[in-house]
């Protein structure tokens, strides 16, 4: 087969917008919801086969900028298993430290986005201001605020020297205080609770049958967390609770994330207290021997899974990435049916989706009127804030 021509297609004036969500409404209720993904499809898995393992680590870091360390570490764990490499304990601790710091930035980011989706913009400003505390620590330890590049095959590239521990611990103390304030909001701010409670319900049985992952699943009482169930990096040495909640709704998903932050602060303290001495990397071969491995990692949004097959060369035979959001997409349909159009923004936000924020268009078909309209996400968000404001829920 020769080289392939992929047509771009002429620009049609009446071209339909690619809609990520197709909603069928009867009156104000959603009878059917369909999700279409693929707008961010970049062809990463194929690209991995054409690059070396180390190049792939940098590429995979950029599958998602919010949980880049998750993808990088998850990938390397599989490669290291195939190559029979024993990552030194100190490197495992550093990887775990960055992983938990990433969880902090991600959950605070989420809290801000959730606030923004329901019109609670001061929550967005507060959480993102506080999030800068952890961004500074990540930049201090790794040299970058996002896409840290701390990993290498066989360990980590930079040490976390003891002079940095007090700075990190002080940051954790600050964040813990701030998080207590957010817990208060989650339990006492009536408007916030009213927007989140009772929407996007997903039963325990639904979670189990659809194999939902992350805080979304844990908010329905299903205690699955790869850090405890399939321990990796330094998690085997840490003492922590798997946070679950029984609300089964968006409110539960907020509670789980906020309480997970508290567990993370404890884990960071444990990691620094017990940081092992020793090297931070082992030498890795360029050519990885033939073999395969599956690596699982509890990213902030849920279980991330990488499958790697090596063939004795410098490039992988196959790399498969299953990011957590893909596991939860089926459940979104279930979560939206029988709810209101106005609930869509917060319900979708509550799974903490890893598809791009600005590209989500919603196609709304009205059964009783026989019409279809396209709404962009911002229009839907403002509609939902107004809809709830008219019913007495406002910030």
For other proteins, the closer CB: 224 or 253 = 224
For other proteins, the closer CB: 312 or 369 = 312
x-or-dash string of contact with other proteins, 338-367, rule CB under 8 A? ----------------x-xxxx--------
Of residues 148 through 207, those in contact with other proteins by CB under 8 A are: none
Chosen residue from 26, 29, 86, 125 binding other proteins by CB under 8 A: 125
| Residue 109 in the binding site for other proteins (CB under 8 A) | yes
- Using an 8 Å Cβ cutoff, are 290 and 267 in contact? no
Contact window for other proteins (CB under 8 A) among 8-16, 169-177, 245-253, 342-350: 8-16
For other proteins, the closer CB: 198 or 231 = 231
For other proteins, the closer CB: 106 or 272 = 106
Least distance (Å) between residue 108 CB and other proteins: 11
Least distance (Å) between residue 296 CB and other proteins: 7
Least distance (Å) between residue 162 CB and other proteins: 28
| Residue 8 in the binding site for other proteins (CB under 8 A) | yes
SS3 of the chain: CCCCCCCCCCCCCCCCCCCCEEEEEECCEEEEEEECCCCCCCCHHHHHHCCCHHHHHHHHHCCCCCCHHHHHHHHHHHHHHHHCCCCCHHHHHHHHHHHHHHHHHHHHHHHHHHHHHHCCHHHHHHHHHHHHHHHHHHHHHHCCCCCCCCEECCEECCCCCHHHHHHHHHHHHHHHHHHHHHHHHHHHCHHHHHHHCCCCCCCHHHHHHHCCCHHHHHCCCCCCCHHHHCCCCCHHHCCCCCCCCCCCCHHHHHHHHHHHHHHHHHHHHHHHHCCCCCCCECCCCCCCCCEEEEEEEEECCEEEEEEEEECCCCCEEEEEEECHHHHHHHHHHHHHCCCEHHHHHHHHHHCCCCCCCCCCEEEEEECCCCEEEEEEHHHHHHHHHHHHHHCCCCC
Q: How many residues bind other proteins (CB under 8 A)?
A: 80
- Using an 8 Å Cβ cutoff, are 218 and 224 in contact? yes
Least distance (Å) between residue 275 CB and other proteins: 25
Of residues 312 through 341, those in contact with other proteins by CB under 8 A are: 318, 320, 322, 326-327, 329-331
| Residue 242 in the binding site for other proteins (CB under 8 A) | no
| Residue 31 in the binding site for other proteins (CB under 8 A) | no
Least distance (Å) between residue 12 CB and other proteins: 8
In angstroms, rounded to a whole number, what is the distance separating the alpha carbons of residues 78 and 85? Answer: 10
For other proteins, the closer CB: 46 or 391 = 46
| Residue 103 in the binding site for other proteins (CB under 8 A) | no
Chosen residue from 294, 372, 393, 394 binding other proteins by CB under 8 A: 294
Provide the 10 A C-beta neighbour count for residue 142. Answer: 22
Of residues 36 through 55, those in contact with other proteins by CB under 8 A are: 36-47, 50
| Residue 2 in the binding site for other proteins (CB under 8 A) | yes
| Residue 132 in the binding site for other proteins (CB under 8 A) | yes
| Residue 11 in the binding site for other proteins (CB under 8 A) | yes
| Residue 64 in the binding site for other proteins (CB under 8 A) | yes
Chosen residue from 212, 234, 280, 341 binding other proteins by CB under 8 A: 212
| Residue 230 in the binding site for other proteins (CB under 8 A) | yes
| Residue 128 in the binding site for other proteins (CB under 8 A) | yes
Least distance (Å) between residue 112 CB and other proteins: 8
């Amino acid at each position: 087969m020769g080289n392939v021509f992929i047509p771009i297609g002429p620009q049609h004036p009446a071209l339909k917008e690619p809609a990520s969500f197709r909603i069928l409404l009867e009156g104000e209720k959603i009878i059917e919801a369909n999700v279409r993904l693929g707008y961010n499809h970049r062809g990463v898995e194929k690209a991995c086969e054409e690059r070396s393992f180390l190049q792939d680590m940098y590429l995979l870091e950029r599958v998602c900028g919010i949980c880049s360390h998750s993808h990088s570490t998850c990938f390397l764990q599989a490669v290291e298993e195939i190559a029979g490499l024993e990552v030194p304990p100190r490197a495992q601790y550093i990887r775990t430290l960055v992983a938990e710091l990433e969880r902090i930035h991600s959950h605070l980011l989420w809290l801000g986005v959730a606030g923004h989706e329901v019109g609670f913009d001061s929550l967005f400003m507060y959480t993102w201001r506080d999030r800068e505390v952890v961004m500074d620590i990540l930049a201090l330890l790794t040299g970058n605020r996002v896409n840290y590049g701390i990993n290498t095959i066989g360990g980590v590239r930079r040490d976390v020297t003891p002079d940095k521990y007090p700075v990190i611990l002080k940051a954790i103390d600050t964040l813990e205080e701030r998080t207590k304030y957010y817990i208060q909001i989650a339990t006492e701010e009536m408007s916030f609770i009213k927007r989140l409670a009772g929407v996007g319900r997903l039963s325990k049985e639904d979670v189990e049958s659809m194999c939902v992952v992350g805080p979304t699943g844990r908010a329905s009482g299903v205690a699955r967390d790869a850090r405890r169930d399939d321990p990796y990096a330094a998690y085997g040495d840490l003492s922590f609770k798997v946070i679950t909640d029984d609300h089964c709704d968006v409110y539960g998903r907020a509670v789980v994330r906020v309480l997970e932050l508290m567990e993370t602060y404890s884990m960071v303290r444990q990691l620094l207290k017990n940081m092992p001495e020793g090297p931070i990397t082992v030498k890795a071969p360029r050519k990885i021997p033939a073999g395969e491995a599956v690596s699982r990692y509890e990213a902030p949004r849920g279980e991330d899974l990488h499958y790697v097959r090596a063939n004795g060369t410098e490039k992988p035979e196959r790399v498969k990435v299953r990011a957590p959001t893909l596991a939860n997409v089926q459940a979104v349909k279930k979560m939206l049916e029988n709810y209101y159009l106005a609930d869509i923004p917060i319900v979708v936000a509550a799974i903490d989706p890893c598809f791009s924020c600005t590209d989500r268009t919603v196609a709304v078909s009205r059964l009783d009127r026989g019409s279809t309209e396209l709404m962009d996400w911002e229009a839907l968000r403002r509609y939902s804030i107004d809809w709830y404001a008219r019913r007495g829920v406002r910030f």
